[in-house]
């Protein structure tokens, strides 16, 4: 049994970037081979591509957890890690991508359009790429960034020119079956149609597409019935056609009250598209009224009697047809084509690019020349938050177990103007500063950004002069916590002393 799925929630995780390599070239008779650590590869992206080969979101419904490939780590001898392979997911044309807040991120209306739904993390630089006059043989490398990890909602909105509306069993499926090649299920009971149907109508040498959705009933906007769940499939249509059952015997039902009831439901339906492909809201869309089932004599008499009243009340063209008897179909098809052509002239299609790529909207709102802003921390009194794409990326790529890497981060921040900006914002020594997910006590480094003194690999003389716990001390404390060594025993036979320490 084929299932029609037009809305899914995907849990995306792009590939992480590979770590850079800290390596020194070693070869006989070459004691100073220099750094040769390669860069890590970028993580794979997750890409949504509109494709004519798929017509529903069913495949994604059954595998909503999607993860792209990780980038490989760099290696010695200047070997860069391989980039993670991009993961391309095919979706039908007309798919709208929403973020977790319900905001429209992309509208894939044309086959071949691509949207990068989750970007892979950048690979970390190896120490060969970090070498400079100040650091001729860096004893560290940058870590790879994590890939983006978030949820997106996909909604399929059919690309039809004409949308059919009506109560259950009004004859929408019968009409689409006789004016197009579509073969929907037809029955004499309510809610025979459980999923939208699409058909292509040929009028001379011209064509247009037509769609019908499960029947609407009063209260649909409050969740009654099925039709409201599928109204998104007629949001893009150029014209809406009210299919009215003139042969119904239900009490309290008549063509005018049916039209008014459906219009009330449409008025309460809110489109989730920020801009509905230039067509405006549903209530502003052109309308026509189709009085159906006039093969029944009493129904034909009622339709003829009400035709003028409906035209005067609503101001819409009215057509009298019988889908079963194939009566009155040609004038209806030509009128629909006329309205569709008017819409096409008013909204000419732009020439589609061979492959249009839509990139994610920047989450970083920083637009100043510095590329970052300093804000007061709302959670920490006297604290500050540094927001900016580059500073946050630098922090994510830093190995905080390596003093030289921390010194390199301090130099980058100083050269970018972060320390000066913190001082101007009122920050003082010891203030809590947060960049990305890392918070630290601010210690103004007067030598930051200047040429560094040559020290051992993985160390930084500026940090050695401070009271900050070194990497070796943190390592020894970690071993003591895990019970691997005695915290106070240094193995030299001397009396244990809590104040005594050696690396």
Query: Residues at the annotated binding site for Mg(2+)?
Result: 173, 193
CA distance 227 to 213: 6
Please report, in range form, the residues annotated as the binding site for GTP: 166-173, 191-195, 212-215, 292-295, 322-324
Residue 37 near residue 21, CB atoms below 8 Å: yes
Q: Which residues of 199-238 are buried (b: 16+ CB within 10 A; e: fewer)?
A: bebebeeeebbbbbbbbbbbebbeeebbbbbbbbbbbbbb
Please list the alpha-helical segments (H only) found in 315-451: 329-346, 389-396, 403-416, 418-424
CA distance 290 to 241: 7
Q: What angle do CA 68, 73, 79 make, to 5 degrees?
A: 125
132: helix, strand or coil: coil
Residue 7 near residue 155, CB atoms below 8 Å: yes
207: helix, strand or coil: strand
Please report, in range form, the residues annotated as the binding site: 166-173, 191-195, 212-215, 292-295, 322-324
CB-CB neighbours of 39 under 10 Å:
30
For the chain, first and last CA: distance in Å? 69
**Closest by CA position to 283, among listed 262, 312, 263, 307:** 263
**Closest by CA position to 329, among listed 241, 258, 247, 255:** 241
- Which helix (H) or strand (E) segment holds residue 320: the answer is strand 318-320
How far is CA 467 from its chain centroid?
Answer: 45
Contacts of 49 (CB under 8 A, 6+ apart): 88, 89, 90, 91, 108, 112, 113, 114, 115
């Amino acid at each position: 049994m084929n299932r029609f799925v037009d809305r899914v929630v995907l849990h995306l995780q792009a590939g992480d970037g590979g770590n850079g390599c800290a390596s020194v070239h070693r070869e006989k008779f070459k004691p100073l081979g220099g750094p040769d650590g390669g860069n890590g590869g970028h993580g794979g992206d997750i890409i949504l591509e509109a494709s004519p080969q798929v017509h529903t979101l069913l495949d994604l419904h059954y595998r909503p957890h999607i993860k792209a490939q990780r980038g490989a780590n760099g290696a010695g001898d200047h070997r860069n890690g391989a980039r993670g392979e991009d993961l391309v997911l095919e979706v039908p044309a007309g798919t709208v991508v929403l973020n977790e807040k319900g905001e429209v991120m992309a509208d894939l209306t044309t086959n071949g359009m691509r949207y990068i739904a989750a970007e892979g993390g950048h690979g970390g630089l190896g120490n060969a790429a970090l070498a400079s006059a100040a650091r001729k043989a860096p004893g560290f490398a940058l870590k790879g960034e994590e890939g983006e990890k978030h949820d997106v909602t996909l909604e399929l909105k059919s690309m039809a020119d004409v949308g059919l509306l009506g109560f259950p069993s009004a004859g929408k499926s019968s009409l689409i079956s006789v004016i197009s090649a579509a073969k929907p299920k037809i029955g004499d009971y309510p809610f025979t149609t459980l999923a939208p149907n699409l058909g292509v109508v040929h009028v001379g040498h011209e064509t247009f597409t037509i769609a019908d959705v499960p029947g609407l009933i009063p209260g649909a906007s409050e969740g009654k019935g099925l039709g409201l769940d599928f109204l998104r499939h007629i949001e893009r249509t150029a014209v809406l056609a009210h299919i009215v059952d003139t042969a119904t015997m239900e009490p309290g039902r008549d063509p005018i009250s049916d039209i008014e009831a459906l219009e009330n439901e449409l008025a309460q339906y809110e489109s989730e598209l920020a801009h509905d492909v230039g067509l405006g809201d549903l209530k502003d869309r052109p309308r026509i009224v189709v009085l159906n089932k006039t093969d029944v004599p009493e129904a034909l008499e009622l339709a003829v009697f009400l035709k003028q009243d409906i035209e005067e009340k609503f101001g819409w063209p009215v057509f009298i047809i019988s889908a079963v008897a194939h009566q009155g179909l040609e004038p209806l098809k030509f009128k629909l084509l006329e309205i569709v052509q008017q819409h096409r002239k008013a909204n000419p299609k732009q020439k589609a690019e061979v492959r249009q790529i839509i990139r994610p909207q920047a989450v970083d709102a920083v637009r100043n020349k510095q590329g970052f802003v300093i804000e007061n921390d709302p959670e920490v009194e006297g604290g500050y938050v540094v927001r900016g794409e580059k500073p946050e990326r630098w922090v994510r790529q830093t190995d905080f177990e390596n003093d030289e890497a921390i010194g390199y981060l301090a130099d980058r921040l100083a050269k970018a103007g972060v320390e000066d900006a913190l001082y101007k914002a009122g920050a003082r020594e010891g203030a809590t500063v947060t960049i990305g997910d890392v918070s630290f006590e601010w210690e103004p480094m007067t030598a930051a950004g200047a040429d560094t003194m040559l020290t051992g690999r993985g160390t930084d003389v500026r940090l050695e002069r401070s009271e900050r716990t070194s990497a070796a001390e943190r390592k020894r404390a970690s071993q003591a916590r895990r019970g691997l060594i005695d915290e106070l025993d240094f193995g030299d036979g001397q009396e244990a002393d809590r104040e005594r320490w050696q690396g």
